[in-house]
Amino acid sequence: MSGVPERSPAGAPHGAADGALPDQGMRGPASQDKGSDNWPLWSILVVDDEPGMRNFLVKSLAPRCSAVFEAGSAEDGEAIVRSTHVDLIILDIALPGRNGVGWLKDLREQGFSGHVILITAFADLDTAIESLRAGASDFILKPFRVPQILNAVKHCHESSRLARENFVLRHTLSSRPEAAVGLIGDSTLMRDLCRALTRVAGVQSTVLLQGESGTGKELAARALHNLSPRAQGPFVPVNCASMSPELMEIELFGHAKGAFTGATRAREGLFYYAQGGTLFLDEVADLPLPLQAMLLRALEDRMIRPVGSEKQLPVNVRIVAATNRSLTEAVAAGSFRKDLYYRLQVVELTLPPLRQHKEDIAALVQHFMQQLTPSLGVEPLKITPADLAYLAQYDWPGNVRELRNLIERSLILGALNVSALYSVGQGAKSNAGRMAADAGPTTDLHTLEKQHILAVLESVQGDKTQAAHLLGISRRTLERRCAEWTGTP
């Protein structure tokens, strides 16, 4: 073989659509069902010195995956692996000048983490064992028939899919059972929102969800995913405010082996784990500026480059972003890139604050009661129309999350625990007026505090630990206050 890799011209792969990657905007996971014989996101490299065998494999595989590369020697194969992302290598053992198993060991050493299926005409048990030890996923004897190789590829693909699913389960879907149910609320505002979510879910556009804290942005993002053709794919949330730019880059894009001290092996990033699904960029306004540039590039090129890697990896991911801060203000302040803002807000939806759709409070209370009673092992509470009227007077600065927390606390305490509303930072502000009015115009701050503490203590039947927890103070501070009023500890 000459130095030129034996593959389609200029490194162009054979692929499902004339060597082109599948239309990443349109291909959903519907075409990559569990155990199907199609792998639209996979690229495969065939390394064999027999042109007939290569042709046979390319013909069988090309219509089923994103790209098939071919090489006639380990050297040519290595050039392809260095420059392109490859998910699976089908590798002949008896290659000119180089043994396939030896090359496989080197590949693993260099950090190649894809699958390798070894094929050979001269098999013995020792070679088979050595291959598996070297990190081969499968070992097939020549001659083989099409279904045999398709089956082997299917197994590799399935094991990657399971690994990805496991990852997503471990890292992200941490007990959010309500997520699949959707948003509760029959008010005009919520009905309009749900209609918009359903309509937008079906298209691939990037969506920006705006709204105050606790209004249900994450729930809406999950609804968008669950209602989309990508529903069978992963939903991967990322909190953009939680990490340093360096860590964030690795988290999103992954890294190559040896990319930094301690990177003993390559690691995939969240973009990779979201393949075929939705990547939810939460608190996107806090994304550090350098990352904003990288994200913009990823969105425009539909390619990512892991840290320390020379290779670009095609990604098929739908982006949903959320923020509780105004992105236009962030753009004006120079902390958010204007071009990224325009890229993200192709569709912009706003989750209304609860104070604008108080007519949904009753349904939400009912919903949280049903949702929480089984896991808490308690009886549901009786909520009277007077209770609901009372809840409707409140401003709900913490929105639906605050209401959910209130119901949870009340269920634990066995009574609707409205006194806790006053202890919520912002809520105290909006309720200060009403409290003062309740207490009379001449009541001073000291008396107000005392009344409040006593009300909370009463609501928990005098349990000081519980009351201190609700008040957000230590038990000792609470005891000191009580001692001041009564003169006893």
Is the four-CA dihedral 423, 424, 429, 430 of positive or negative sign? negative
Residue with smaller CB distance to Mg ion, 49 or 218: 218
Nearest distance, CB of residue 302 and ligand ATP, angstroms: 27
Sequence letter at residue 375? S
Nearest distance, CB of residue 230 and ligand ATP, angstroms: 19
Residue with smaller CB distance to ligand ATP, 242 or 461: 242
Distance separating the N- and C-terminal Cα atoms of the chain: 92
Nearest distance, CB of residue 407 and ligand ATP, angstroms: 11
Residue with smaller CB distance to Mg ion, 32 or 323: 323
Residue with smaller CB distance to ligand ATP, 55 or 324: 324
Per-residue binding letters, 215-254, with Mg ion (x by CB under 5 A): ---x------------------------------------
Nearest distance, CB of residue 51 and Mg ion, angstroms: 55
Nearest distance, CB of residue 210 and ligand ATP, angstroms: 9
- Of Mg ion, ligand ATP, none, which one sits near residue 185, judging by CB under 5 to 8 A according to partner kind? ligand ATP
What are the beta bridge partners of residue 139? 118
Residue with smaller CB distance to ligand ATP, 151 or 213: 213
CA nearest neighbour of 233 among 173, 303, 319, 165: 165
Q: Where are the beta strands (DSSP E) in 240-345?
A: 278-282, 303-304, 313-314, 318-323
The DSSP symbol for 203 reads S
Binding footprint of ligand ATP on the chain (CB under 6 A): 178, 183-185, 211, 213-219, 324, 351, 367, 400-401, 404
Residue with smaller CB distance to Mg ion, 130 or 218: 218
- Of Mg ion, ligand ATP, none, which one sits near residue 201, judging by CB under 5 to 8 A according to partner kind? none
- Of Mg ion, ligand ATP, none, which one sits near residue 355, judging by CB under 5 to 8 A according to partner kind? none
Nearest distance, CB of residue 282 and Mg ion, angstroms: 5
Residue with smaller CB distance to Mg ion, 76 or 212: 212
Of all residues in the shown chain, the one whose CB is closest to ligand ATP is: 216
CA nearest neighbour of 417 among 406, 404, 428: 406
Report CA-CA distances (Å) from 293 to 72, 245, 267, 347, 431. Answer: 39, 12, 22, 20, 44
Nearest distance, CB of residue 240 and Mg ion, angstroms: 11
CB neighbours of 300 closer than 8 A, spacing ≥ 6?
343
Is 268 one of the binding residues for Mg ion (CB under 5 A)?
A: no
- Of ligand ATP, Mg ion, none, which one sits near residue 324, judging by CB under 5 to 8 A according to partner kind? ligand ATP
**Given phi > 0 = left and psi -120 to 50 = alpha, else beta, which region is 214?**
left
Report CA-CA distances (Å) from 422 to 150, 175, 485. Answer: 64, 29, 21
Q: Where are the beta strands (DSSP E) in 65-168?
A: 65-71, 88-92, 94-95, 98-99, 115-120, 138-141
CB neighbours of 204 closer than 8 A, spacing ≥ 6?
25, 26, 318
Segment near Mg ion (CB under 5 A), from 24-32, 76-84, 213-221, 224-232? Answer: 213-221
Residue with smaller CB distance to ligand ATP, 191 or 480: 191
Residue with smaller CB distance to Mg ion, 180 or 389: 180
Q: Report the C-alpha gap between 410 and 396 in whole angstroms.
A: 16
Nearest distance, CB of residue 348 and Mg ion, angstroms: 17
Is the four-CA dihedral 271, 275, 281, 282 of positive or negative sign? negative
Q: Report the C-alpha gap between 224 and 346 in whole angstroms.
A: 15
Q: Report the C-alpha gap between 212 and 350 in whole angstroms.
A: 9
Is 402 one of the binding residues for Mg ion (CB under 5 A)?
A: no
CB neighbours of 89 closer than 8 A, spacing ≥ 6?
44, 45, 46, 47, 77, 81, 107, 114, 115, 116, 117
Q: Which ranges of 256-348 does DSSP label H, i.e. alpha helix?
A: 270-273, 289-301, 327-332, 338-344
Nearest distance, CB of residue 322 and Mg ion, angstroms: 6
Nearest distance, CB of residue 218 and ligand ATP, angstroms: 3
Residue with smaller CB distance to ligand ATP, 136 or 219: 219
Nearest distance, CB of residue 119 and ligand ATP, angstroms: 50
Nearest distance, CB of residue 241 and ligand ATP, angstroms: 10
Per-residue binding letters, 166-205, with Mg ion (x by CB under 5 A): ----------------------------------------
Residue with smaller CB distance to ligand ATP, 223 or 460: 223
The H or E element containing residue 40 is strand 39-47
* Concatenated DSSP letters of 403-470: HHHHHHHHHHHTS--THHHHTSHHHHHHHHHHHHHHH-TT--HHHHHHHHHHHHHHHTTT-HHHHHHH
Of all residues in the shown chain, the one whose CB is closest to Mg ion is: 218
Residue with smaller CB distance to ligand ATP, 426 or 474: 426
The DSSP symbol for 124 reads -
43 close to 67: Cβ distance less than 8 angstroms = yes
In the complex, which residues of this chain contact Mg ion (CB under 5 A)? 218
